Structure 1
Amino acid sequence: MLKKKKEYAIDHLKTTVGAIACPKCHSAFDLLDNGLVCQNNHHFDLSKKGTIHFPLHHMESDYDHQMLEHRRNMIQKGLYQPIEKEIARIILNQGEIGLIVDMGAGEGSILERLIRNNDISGTKMGFDLSKDGVVLASDFSKEAFWFIGDVTNMPFKDESVDTLLNIFSPSHYEEMGRVLKKEGLVIKVIPEENYLKELRELFYYDEQAKQQYSNEKVYQKFLKDMQLIEEKRITYHFVVEKEDFQDVLMMSPMHWGASIQAKEHARDNYFQKLTIDVKILVGKKY
């Protein structure tokens, strides 16, 4: 008989409760039938989807259900497969895997594919600020525990996480250093200058300045706050089938800043190849 999402969540929490901590007071949690309670009696209940809302105040994410579904469709078609393979190699080379946390997991597909397509053991958790993203990620509740969380106040004990995945997501290095074990790894993926350049050229065809892109500040921030162990640039072209073109157009925030005319221009200018250009950074805390 297939388990309910809430039952899968309880199973995951049984193995991870020793690593997580109350975001209000940072004390340890006990696992209840309906969620978690800390030593100071702060309760965090499981939803019907088997997720928990950890942020202590109202926080909004611009990533809505519609955009995340378009994104999921393309990720599941293998949009990031070469990147996933490289991340899997890095994780598997660690030896004992332990606890993997995907911070900024979106709708969960990248972590789910890492688990499904590679022999990666250990325990896995993924979180995002977007409630819509976490609800979608709960479709993968067998593979990992999913929760709504804030990168600036993660519900983990000091030095409890073996691997932090930070893929196209915001970072908070002080908090990442707090939760990461002494020999733990951060695997961060940042876009390079040609990432999704075809989309940029379409949506900003009437704004030349926005067609240029650099993540140098993000890269330098990583070098300043983390001990760089390894870096690798991965560049390739992904074949875009005509039936997937709408998903490609809507899968990223790029269209948010485009004019009405540019959006119409984009819809009418199908392209067959999409450039993926990223840098994978692997680091430890100092």
Structure 2
Amino acid sequence: MIRSLQQLICPLDGGLLELTERSWRCQQGHSFDIARQGYVNLLPVQNKRSKDPGDSKLMVQARRRFLEQGYYQPLADALTETVLATGDQSLLDAGCGEGYYLAKLINAAESKAVSLSVAALDISKWAVQVAAKQDRRPDWIVASNGSIPLADQSLDTLICVFGFPVVDEFKRVLKPGGRLIMVDPGTTHLQELKALIYADQKQKTEVLPINDTEFQLYSEQRVSFPVSLSSAQDISDLLTMTPHLYRSQAKGREQVMQRTALELTADAWIRVFTR
């Protein structure tokens, strides 16, 4: 069974929120309406660093098209296997994007008869809008990892896929013994793309994404596989969905956009930390 977590808290006073028809309300009278797409915005204006934080609408659309082609399916499969290894659980996808990895996870849980209580958040309203349209059962939330609107110790598992960990918040919402599953790029991730767009590449070194005495590294798995892009659209989408679109110079971007085929390496670490 897949159901909503329903452990949301008010971003203004920290009180528990209760679902009343189409709104989440706290005892202090704060109310947050559920949008027609099926999500709730719990990111107060004062907590925004920009007018439209997170991935842009263009980036979200490009990532959705790219991932739906199945290029990162091996990573989604490995993550799903890792998450579901412990059976029934409460789960947060912190930085869910357009919902690709969570959708794969939910589908697998249903086929294996694993029960999940699910919430997912992203700071990009465009990403959450797309994700919420796919499946109304999870709690879809516009919020940041820096201020997670969930109750203390409400989670068995927290996944953060290519996201930004906020250790103190992750510790707060995880139960003792809970799992933090981080997915981070390896040293050779998209190295062929980087070689085209950057004149001088810096060699990346492997570092643990979490360095805190309250989190213990339980396991790690490296997932590396080839990715063959055979259309200009897919190449453009890959560049658009990554930060490289904005970090690279025009000459490098032009070299990539002129391609109609590209052979790449996908390389990522799946690390499980226990609270």
TM-score normalised per structure 1: 0.86
Pairwise CA RMSD of aligned residues?
2.0
Cα distance change of structure 1 residues 238 and 249 upon mapping to structure 2, 3 Å threshold: same
1:262-282 deviations in whole A, cap 9, x for unaligned?
211111244432211111110
The 1-side partners of 2:120 and 2:153 are apart by 17
The 1-side partners of 2:123 and 2:257 are apart by 30
Give the aligned residue type for 1:131: K
The aligned runs of 1:198-217 (5 Å cut-off) are 198-204=192-198, 207-208=199-200, 211-214=201-204, 216-217=206-207
- Secondary structure of 1:221's counterpart equals coil
Give the CA deviation at 1:221: 3.4
The residue that corresponds to 1:131 in the other structure is 125
The 2-side partners of 1:278 and 1:70 are apart by 20
The residue that corresponds to 2:148 in the other structure is 154
1:2-50 deviations in whole A, cap 9, x for unaligned?
xxxxxxxxx95xx532x22222222222211121111222211111212
1:170-223 deviations in whole A, cap 9, x for unaligned?
01111101100112111100111111112211111xx31xx2352644x16346
- Whether 1:176 and 2:170 are equivalent positions in the alignment is yes
The total of aligned residue pairs comes to 266
Give the aligned residue type for 1:107: E
The 2-side partners of 1:191 and 1:171 are apart by 14
Cα distance change of structure 1 residues 141 and 215 upon mapping to structure 2, 3 Å threshold: farther
The 2-side partners of 1:215 and 1:175 are apart by 26
Whether the aligned pair in 2 keeps the contact of 1:101 and 1:125 (CA below 8 Å) is yes
Of 222, 231, 237, 1:233 maps to 222
Of 1, 16, 24, 2:5 maps to 16
The 2-side partners of 1:43 and 1:185 are apart by 31
- Whether 1:247 and 2:241 are equivalent positions in the alignment is no
Whether the aligned pair in 2 keeps the contact of 1:106 and 1:133 (CA below 8 Å) is yes
Gaps in structure 2 of 5+ consecutive residues: none
The 2-side partners of 1:213 and 1:52 are apart by 41
The 1-side partners of 2:153 and 2:54 are apart by 31
Cα distance change of structure 1 residues 111 and 28 upon mapping to structure 2, 3 Å threshold: same
- Whether 1:43 and 2:38 are equivalent positions in the alignment is no
- Whether 1:94 and 2:86 are equivalent positions in the alignment is yes
The residue that corresponds to 1:188 in the other structure is 182
The residue that corresponds to 1:3 in the other structure is none
- Whether 1:53 and 2:45 are equivalent positions in the alignment is no
The 1-side partners of 2:268 and 2:135 are apart by 28
The residue that corresponds to 2:251 in the other structure is 261
Q: Percent identity?
A: 27
1:137-159 deviations in whole A, cap 9, x for unaligned?
12213353311011111111111
TM-score normalised per structure 2: 0.89
The 1-side partners of 2:8 and 2:239 are apart by 38
Give the CA deviation at 1:233: 1.0
Whether the aligned pair in 1 keeps the contact of 2:235 and 2:256 (CA below 8 Å) is no
Give the aligned residue type for 1:261: K
Return the structure number with greater helix share.
1
Gaps in structure 1 of 5+ consecutive residues: 1-10
- Secondary structure of 2:210's counterpart equals helix
Whether the aligned pair in 2 keeps the contact of 1:115 and 1:143 (CA below 8 Å) is no
Give the CA deviation at 1:114: 1.8
- Secondary structure of 2:101's counterpart equals helix
The 2-side partners of 1:143 and 1:77 are apart by 24
The residue that corresponds to 2:269 in the other structure is 279
The residue that corresponds to 2:115 in the other structure is 121
Whether the aligned pair in 1 keeps the contact of 2:150 and 2:173 (CA below 8 Å) is yes
Give the aligned residue type for 2:38: G
